Amino acid sequence: MDPLRADVQDVFRQVFGDDDIVLSDATTATDIDGWDSMMHINLIIALERRFGVKFAAAEISGMKANDQNVGSLFKLLGEKLARAGASPP
């Protein structure tokens, strides 16, 4: 697992209080117990803090669309880090 994915997985484990979470690109909110709208906001805040990025309101709401998954999140986060000139951890 590359470092970015490992760090994102660590954030998920911390936010959801579950050390057994294993993320794949196909993982969706329905695959993780407790991933409701409030936990979604907690997750976004934790990701912003960990990676020093900010998500726009449209990006945040779009993350829970039916066609979105953790792979989409990895892609978006990678793009944000690249634009910021930061190398993924």
The pTM for the full model equals 0.89
Residue 89 lies in a domain: no
Residue 24 lies in a domain: yes
Residue 88 lies in a domain: no
CATH number (domain holding residue 71) = 1.10.1200.10
Which residue range(s) make up the domain with 67? 3-83
Distance CA(56)–CA(34), nearest Å, equals 23
Residue 16 lies in a domain: yes
**Residue 16 dihedral angles phi and psi, to the nearest 5°:** -95, 0
- Give the number of domains in the chain: 1
> Which of 11, 12, 4, 15 is CA-nearest to residue 75?
4
Distance CA(22)–CA(35), nearest Å, equals 14
Residue 65 lies in a domain: yes
Amino acid at position 75, single letter: K
Tens digits of residue pLDDT in 50-59:
999 999 999 9
CB 60 within 8 A of CB 44: yes
Q: For a pLDDT cut of 70, what percent of the chain falls above it?
A: 96
**Residue 49 dihedral angles phi and psi, to the nearest 5°:** -65, -45
Tens digits of residue pLDDT in 62-89:
887 888 999 999 999 999 999 877 655 5
